[in-house]
Structure formats: structure tokens, C-alpha cells
Structure 1
Amino acid sequence: MKRQTVEVKLRERILSGTLAPGDRLPEVQLAEELGTTRFAVRTALQALEARKLVERIPNAGVVVSRPDYDRLQEIYDVLELLEGLAARLAAQKSAPSDWAALQALFADGGPLEEAAENGDIDAFLAGIDQYRDTVIRLADQDFLTEMLTGVRDQSHLLRRRILMTPGRMQESLAEHRQVIDALVCGDAEVAEQLKRHNMQTARTRLSRYREFLL
């Protein structure tokens, strides 16, 4: 198995929560489990370390990174600005028909409402990722895309933790519906403000449920 494949498999396990913060990642065991070499595992772990998904602990080896509260706050500082800007640009550059798929996804009785009712975090998070991918694509700004892609994994993990708090999926669903309405109308200023508000309410939950999330 190639290093890239090993990296993808381990990354998926971390992002899905199958591998939890603090879990050890021993090279020999992983190589045997994945049917590959220790070198492939080692280089994959180095790549994941560069993504801040794993860290090396003295006398413990490589473990899944534990979230640091101050760093999470810094990530939110950046995400609020960048995702707000992405919403503004997407509203300016898009046509109403560009948002049809998201309107259906976030609609009353739609897939994400069902996911929220059933507590299906994976399905809901996939919907949020679809929103982000659509907005980034329609914003059509290369540098902004590079910056948001650079923090994608960390923001994915952060969203997963926040969505685990009571009522957050329903709250997020309502907030994204408002953002999408503004995007459909092409109201760039309102779309940016609403998306920033969405990030601010998530940050509030991070503070309120700090002990649970970290």
C-alpha cells in the first residue's frame, strides 16, 4: 500500500472520530493492520503531522492531536473572516439557480433536517461540507480557496465537536437556511453578516461546552 493511501485511510479515521484525540499510532501495528511497510506508515504520519492531525509526544510516540482551546479560538478568528468573505463573493458572482441543490438539501423536511432530527452527525457534517464547497467554488477566488483548504481538516474536526453539543445541528440548520436565502437573493452584505453570525454562535458553544469538547 502506497504512502498516499495510508495517509488517506488514517486521515479518514481521524476526521470521522474513529481515532480519538490521544490515541496512539504505533508504526509496526499500523503497518501490519494495513498490509504495508513501516516506511509507508512513517511518511504518512509525517504528512498528517504537517496537517496538525497528529503530534509526537516524548516517550509516547505519535498520537492523534488533542484540541487546544487557544488554538481553536485562533482558528475561529480566521474562519469567521474567511467564510464571511467567501459568502460575500459567492453572492456577488452567482446566479439564483446556482443554489438550487443547497436549497433542496437544507429545505424543510429535507435531508439535513432529517439528519438533525436523527442526530446523524456524519450526514449533517457532509451537508455543511457541501455548503462550503459550493460557496468556495462560486466565490472563485484562488487565494481564498487556498487559505480555506489549508485549514479544512482542522475546521472539519472543530465542526464535528461543536455539532455534538445539544441542539447545535438544529441551530446550525436554521442559520444556514438564512445564509442560503441571502445567497439566492444575491445580497452580499447580508450573506457575509449571517455567515459570520453562524461562526460566532459556534464559537459561543465552544466556550460554553469547553470541558466537554476538550
Structure 2
Amino acid sequence: MKITKYYPKLLHLSLDACKAITDKCIFKIARSCTNLKYISLASLYRDSNIYSKSVIEIARSCLNLVYLNLNGQPFINNESICIIARSCVNLQHLDLSFNDIITNEVICAIATDCPDIRSYFLEECKQITNKSIKKIAQLNQNLQKLILTSCYRITNDVVYNIVYSCSNIQNLSFQYIYITDKTIYEIAYYCSNLSILNVKKCLFISDKSIYFLLSKKLTLDIDW
């Protein structure tokens, strides 16, 4: 493989929507290019050939990893991401969106072992519950982005934990989550650095709370 032969010191690898890329290919790249810090393997249609074996090799070989995007990779399991947590302790960005396998165990492991993580993208990770989001609030004080679109098991109570604990939060998405006006008022009072908020299709949020939020944060980009 030419990439491993000619670029052994590669730092940035982006193979988004490359349907021809296989698990074997990613395994070889990870084993040979151990300086990788940025890996993006997003799949647009969940028709990927990437499995947990290559992610485990990334964890074992790419110890300086700070960015990992596995959006739309439905075959990545708990074990592989838990190994990422133990090995890649400098991780700052993790995208596991559209993965029905991932559970609270994984997110709790990442929150615990990667304390400087800044971004979680967990859209349609349907097994994620309040337990793991509470752990994020407790341990990831530098959090800047939290995308929980369609994580329908998340409730007001745990959102309060994020709002109170993560003062650096800049981007929140609660689209399709059953949060209420109370959450919006808490965001208005506590999230001083928030610049982007997505509460589209949150059926229990009223215009009154949104207008109040906008009166407090004139530059906020909000979708509702």
C-alpha cells in the first residue's frame, strides 16, 4: 500500500464516504502510520466495510490520536471504543453518530479515560441514556460540543447537569429530545459561551422560553 510506504509520518487521514475502503486497509494504515492524530472514516449511507478490528488497531498503534470520526459506521462495537478510551487518552473529538450498538459503557469509559475531550457527536445513538451524559457532565469540564439529536432517552434532569457543569459549552443539539421550557431557561442563565443551539422538533418547548433565551443571548444561532 503506497500510503503506508511513502507517508509513514502521516498525521491526518480523512477517508469519508470511501465505500471501497476496507477494514484490512485501515488496519494496515493504523499499524504503519503511528503518528496519526486525526482520523475520519465517516460513512454517508451506513454501507461501510469498516469493522471493530481496524478500530482496535487504531487504539493500539495511534496513541496520539485526538480526533476520531466514525459517523455512520454501524458495525463498531463497545469493545473497540473502550480500547480507544484506554489507549488514546488525549482524545478530544469523538463522533459515533448513527451507531445502534454503542451503549452507556462506552461513553462512560471515554468520559473517564479521556478527560480533555471537547466534542461528542452521538446523533441517533439510541442506547445512550442519562447515565452516560451525567458522567460527561461530571468529568469533561472542557466540553464544547454535545450533539444528542434523536437520543430520545435523554431527559431534562441530565441536561441540567451539562448546563451547570460545562461552562465552556458552545454547541448543543437536543433535536427530537423531550426537554421542556425549564431546560431553555437554565441554558439562558448558565451557558454564557453558547453560540449554537438546536432544539428543533422538541415538542414541549414553547416560543416564550425561546424568546426569553434570545433576549439574553442576542448573537445565539438557534434552530427550533
Q: TM exceeds 0.5? A: no
Q: What is the TM-score when the length of structure 1 is the normalising length?
A: 0.20
- Looking at both structures, which has the greater relative contact order when contacts are Cα pairs under 8 Å and sequence separation is at least 6? 1
The structure with the greater share of residues assigned to helix is 1
The structure with the greater share of residues assigned to strand is 2
